[in-house]
C-alpha cells in the first residue's frame, strides 16, 4: 500500500503543529516543566498526548509543511503553549515572593537553598511555600485542567499563522502586577506582626539601654518568625485557591474561552 506524498505531508503537519503547542505547554508549566523533570519524560508525555488528541482535532490549514508560512505557524503554536504555561509559573512564583518577603522580615532570609525550578538560590521559606503550593496544584488536578484547556484551544484558537493578539499579551504582562499584589496581601499579616515586635524592641532599648538589642533581637525575631509562620500556614490554601482561579481565568482568556465546563 502506497500513500501520495501530499497526504503524508498533511498528516505530518497536523501532528507537528499540535505537538509544538502541547510540548511548549509541558516544557514551561509548573511541576512538569521544572528542571527536576527529565526532558525525555516531558517529550514522551507530549508525544503521547499529541497522538491521542490529533484524530479528534479540527483539520489543519492547507499550508505546505516546508514553507515560510509553516515556520510562522510553528512559532505561533510555541508562543501559545509557552504563554499558557507561564501563567502557571506566575501563580507559583506568587508564593515564592511572599515567602521571600516573610523571610526577610522574620530574620530567616539568611537561610537559603538551591531552587531546582529556577536554578538559583532562594530563601528556605519561599521554597517551603513553593513545595506546598505545588502539591496543592497537583491535588486539585491543575495539570489536567491545563492539558484540557490546551486541547480545547485547538477549537477556540485554531492552528493558523495568527496566534495571540497584542491585547492578550498585554493581559499576560499585566498579570505580573497581580502576582506582586497577591504576594503582598499574603505576607501583610506577617509584616504587621513583625513590625509590632520591632516596636517592642525599640521600647525595650529606651527602657533598658544596657541591653544588647542587636544580639538579643536577632534570636527573638527568629523565634517570633517561626511562630508567625505556624499561625499563618493555614491561610496558604485559601490564597492558593484564589490565585489559581485568577490564573485559570487568564488562561481561558488567552485561549479564547477554552475553559473547563
DSSP letters, the chain, are ----HHHHHHHHHHHHHHHHHHHHHHHHSTTTTSTTS-HHHHHHHHHHHHHHHGGGSPPPPS--SSSHHHHHHHHHHHHHHHHHHHHHHHHHHHHHHHHHHHHHHTT-TT-EEEETTTTEEEEHHHHHHHHHHHHHHHHTTHHHHHHHHHHHHHHHS-SSS--S-HHHHHHHHHHHHHHHHHHHHHHHHHHHHHHHHHHHHHHHHHH-TTS-HHHHHHHHHHHHHHHHHHHHGGGHHHHHHHHHHHHHHHHHHHTTS----
Position 261 confidence tier, pLDDT thresholds 50, 70, 90: very low
pLDDT at 116: 55
Please state, for a pLDDT cut of 90, what percent of the chain lies above it. Answer: 0
- pLDDT, mean of residues 122-140: 82
- pLDDT, mean of residues 81-103: 85
- Predicted TM-score (pTM) of this structure: 0.80
- pLDDT, mean of residues 40-65: 82
Average pLDDT of the chain?
A: 78
- pLDDT, mean of residues 164-189: 83
Amino acid at each position: 500500500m502506497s500513500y501520495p506524498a501530499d497526504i503524508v505531508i498533511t498528516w505530518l503537519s497536523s501532528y507537528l503543529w499540535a505537538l509544538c503547542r502541547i510540548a511548549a505547554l509541558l516544557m514551561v508549566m509548573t511541576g512538569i516543566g521544572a528542571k527536576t523533570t527529565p526532558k525525555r519524560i516531558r517529550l514522551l508525555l507530549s508525544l503521547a498526548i499529541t497522538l491521542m488528541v490529533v484524530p479528534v482535532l479540527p483539520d489543519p490549514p492547507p499550508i505546505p509543511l516546508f514553507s515560510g508560512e509553516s515556520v510562522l505557524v510553528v512559532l505561533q503554536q510555541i508562543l501559545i503553549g509557552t504563554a499558557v504555561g507561564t501563567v502557571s509559573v506566575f501563580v507559583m512564583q506568587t508564593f515564592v515572593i511572599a515567602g521571600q518577603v516573610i523571610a526577610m522580615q522574620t530574620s530567616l532570609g539568611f537561610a537559603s537553598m538551591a531552587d531546582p525550578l529556577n536554578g538559583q538560590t532562594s530563601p528556605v521559606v519561599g521554597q517551603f511555600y513553593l513545595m506546598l503550593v505545588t502539591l496543592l496544584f497537583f491535588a486539585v488536578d491543575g495539570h489536567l485542567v491545563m492539558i484540557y484547556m490546551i486541547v480545547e484551544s485547538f477549537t477556540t484558537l485554531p492552528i493558523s499563522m495568527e496566534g495571540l493578539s497584542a491585547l492578550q499579551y498585554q493581559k499576560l504582562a499585566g498579570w505580573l502586577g497581580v502576582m506582586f499584589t497577591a504576594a503582598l496581601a499574603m505576607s501583610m499579616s506577617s509584616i504587621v506582626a513583625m513590625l509590632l515586635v520591632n516596636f517592642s524592641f525599640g521600647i525595650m532599648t529606651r527602657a533598658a539601654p544596657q541591653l544588647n538589642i542587636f544580639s538579643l533581637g536577632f534570636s527573638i525575631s527568629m523565634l517570633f518568625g517561626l511562630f508567625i509562620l505556624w499561625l499563618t500556614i493555614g491561610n496558604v490554601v485559601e490564597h492558593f485557591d484564589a490565585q489559581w482561579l485568577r490564573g485559570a481565568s487568564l488562561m481561558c482568556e488567552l485561549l479564547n474561552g477554552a475553559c473547563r465546563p
